[in-house]
Each structure stands twice: as structure tokens, then as C-alpha cells.
Amino acid sequence: MKNGSNRFKKSLLIVAISALIMSLLAACGQSSNSGGSGQGGTGSPEQGENNEKIELRFAWWGSQGRHDRTLQAIAKFEEKHQNIKVIPEYSSWDGYWEKLSTQVSAGNAPDVMQMSILYIKEYSERNVLADLNPFVGSALKVEDLNADVLSNQGTIDGKLTGIPVADNASVLLVNNEMFEQANVSKPDKDSTWEELFAVSRELKAALGDNVYGMFDASSSLEAFMYYLFSKGDKLYSDDNRLGYNDDNLRAWMSMWETARKEGIVPPANITASALPLSNADPNKDALLKGTVAMMGPTWIAAFPAYQSVMTDNVDMISYPHAEHTGSVLQTAMFFSASAKSKHQEAAAMLIDFLVNSEEAADILETERGLPENKKMREYLAPKFTDRDKKMISMLEHISESHPAWYDAGPKGAGEVTALFEKVIQKHQFGQTTIDEAVKEFRVEADKIFARNNE
């Protein structure tokens, strides 16, 4: 899983690439309002909201490795702020957003939440996320974070609703072992769709039934967006509508239809039953199981989770290119606070600790990706593993390829993403033609955008 405010500046990545993760001690100001009105206060950072006993709910998604490290970081934060108890709420990617949507609807969002670039604009415009500006300079330090990212991605309609955690770029993951078994050369770091499908045919011929070269990403709006970028097109227009040429959607659907007929990607029933590509839990997906040899789009930030399970059996390549690279740049994720939290200052303190402290950096390292905080990247540089260096090298490579920036789209983009999956799945199962699907998606998507952006 961005309109004008989310089209980031390309200066981000060069800063983002030399080293890794977080610095600075957690800071927090004493609030004159124990209800957490959203106003920063004065006083000793260690006191935190007048030493009242505080419970903060903190929600995030990720793999078991991320959960374990985050729990350790929470314990360290609680040691420093003994009046604050952090209640963890964590799950896989898909379960996270379903649960968060329900919590928001009930007015019961977590105090601190991990936020995706896919949803930060929508949640901000719905006033779900707190403006953290009042705490900057007291409970929350931002001077070591990239100013362009803060202003162009973390700030929505003048409100600082997301603190960037890590830098990222989109990639495909490769199961090295499957290529070795098939005695087929792995694809180049920069490949076209035609080249990837060609190598998929070789794999299929060597490994037989129930094995596929690539996962069918045709119903992923994110994957289609990258395809459009590679063609010099764009998914969204400047007037809150779809902005691409319909012929590019026809070509996208036709490409995958041919691959399904050849049997080099899974059939529709397997694809539909598979977990989302962005689940970020390698224990549950087709790449680890050896069902597919190449899978994506995913992000460099997901690589540690896969590498921890697959060790040397996993690698990364750029998203397929055409006229341009299909890989895009973005902030891996943000930490946000709830606009309804009674303890926004304490929430800012927790975010500050996770993003800016060496203590948290020692625990979290690069699990969430390549840290946004430049001092933490420098601090962690002596600890860089071969995995870390590979991630940095990949991010540098993509940043030098003149990539586009991820576009989260207008308000309603989440609903449009679900619509795209539904429409394309109907075609995967032979229930509609390509032309019918192309027309249906545009008509219904523009209705959604019109309804949400009046």
C-alpha cells in the first residue's frame, strides 16, 4: 500500500542512505493539562504529565521479529518512565487495518499507532490523527529527521500527524533456492516484465506443476501504479480522479491474463486465497514455501523479516522497468498519535523514544527499515550486517534510477484500492472481459472520489 502533499522530494533518499536507525533520549514536557489537550508544557521530561499513572495503547503491524524487538523497546521506555504503562496491540498487515478501522469507528483508536503512507492522508483528513506540532521541541524532537519528509509526507493540511520512521523503496523478492534447484540464472537487478516472464517459463519447465515463476499481482492497485510510473503515466490526476490512460490498464490486465494461461503465475483460485502481498510475514506466504520464485511489490523494509527466516535464500531486485524504473521511493512508515488520546504528550514521548534514542536503536536496529534519523544511522553504522549493507545498496541503486514517489491518492483511495481488487478478480475468474473491467473500474472509482472529495 498520495496526492500533492504526498509527492515527496527526491532529496530525501540521498540523505536516507548512508547508515541506519535512531538517536536522542526520549524527551517529554510536563503538561499543565493532565487530560492531554494537545498543548505542550514545561517541566522535566522525566516527570511526564505530572507523574500521573498513564496507560498508552500502542498498535503496530509486522512479523514476529518486529513484535519481539518492539516489546523489548517498550520495556526500556517503561524503565525510563515508570509512571507510563504501554499496552501493546500488534498483528499482521491485513488484520491490523481491519482492527484499526473498527477501533476508529468506535472512537477507540490506540494512543500511538504505526501508520502507512497508504493511509496517513485519509486518516489525517478524517481527524483521526493528532497534530504533534505542539510537542515539537519539548516531548518530541525532529531536528535529526528529514525536513522535506516531515513537511511533504508527515504534515497533512498543516498538521504534523506522522513522524517518519524509516526510508524505503519498492522491490520484488526472489527465492534464490528455487533458481538453484531449476539451474536457472536469477534475473538481473533491473529487469523488464518480459524478461521476468521469460525466466518464469524456464523455472516452470524445470520445476513442474504447482510451482510458478511469479505471484499474480494483477489485482494489486499498488502494483499497477508502479507499472504506470514505468510507462511514464500516473494513477491519479490533480483533480482527485483517476489519471491514467485506459490503454495501460488494458495492457496490464492482458499481460497477466497471458501469464495465467501459460501457467507461469498461479491460477485465480490460488491467488485469491493467498495472503496479501504486503502481509510482511514470510512464514505465511508463497515465496517462503517455494510456490513462487518472485513476489511483490514489497518494500526494502520487509527484507529483514524474510532474511531472518530464509537467510541466504532470499534476495531483492528492482520493480520491473519499461521507459522508467517501476520502483518508487517512500517513507517506510510513520508513528502517529490518536486525536482522541487523553495523553497526547505521553504519546509524543513514546514516539520520540522509538525514533530518536540510542537505547531504542540498539534494540530495533533496522527491523523497520533504514532509519530516518540520520544520527541513528551514523550510530548504528559499526553494527551494520551484510543484510543492512544490502538494503542500503539497494536503496542507493533505486534512488539513482530516477524513480517516482509513491502516490497515496485522493481521499477515498483505500476504498478504490479494494474496488480495484474486486474488479480485477472478476476478470481473473473469467466473469468479465478486459474492456468491461476497465470501464467499470474507472466509473466506480470516480464515483468514490467524487463522494469523498466534494
| Chain segment 157-202, per-residue pLDDT in tens | 999 999 999 888 999 999 999 999 999 999 999 999 999 999 999 9
pLDDT at 382: 92
Pick from 402, 368, 16: which is nearest to 190 by CA?
402
E strand or H helix that includes residue 434? helix 434-452
Residues with Cβ within 8 Å of 408's Cβ and at least 6 positions away in sequence, in order, are 2, 3, 6, 117, 118, 119, 120, 121, 122
DSSP per residue over 346-358, as a string?
A: HHHHHHHHHHH-H
Superfamily of domain 169-329+405-452: Periplasmic binding protein-like II (3.40.190.10)
pTM strictly above 0.75: no
Beta bridge partners of 89: 59
In tens, the pLDDT along 80-121 reads 999 999 999 999 887 999 999 999 999 999 999 999 988 898
List, for the chain, all residue ranges whose pLDDT scores fall below the cut of 70. Answer: 1-51, 274-284
Name the E strands within 311-369.
314-318, 328-337
CATH placement of domain 4-166+332-385: 3.40.190.10
Euclidean distance between CA atoms 324 and 392, whole angstroms: 21
Which residue in the block uniquely carries the three cell numbers 512464514? 283
pLDDT at 388: 87
pLDDT at 396: 86
DSSP helix/strand/coil, 139: coil
Q: Which amino acid is it at 345?
A: E
Euclidean distance between CA atoms 214 and 53, whole angstroms: 52
pLDDT at 96: 95
In the chain, which residues fall in CATH 3.40.190.10? 4-166+332-385, 169-329+405-452
pLDDT at 274: 66
pLDDT at 153: 86
pLDDT at 427: 97
pLDDT at 77: 98
Q: By the 8 A CB rule, do 128 and 104 touch?
A: yes
Burial (0-12, 13-18, 19+ Cβ within 10 Å), 194: exposed
Q: To 10 degrees, what angle do helices 193-207 and 246-262 make?
A: 10
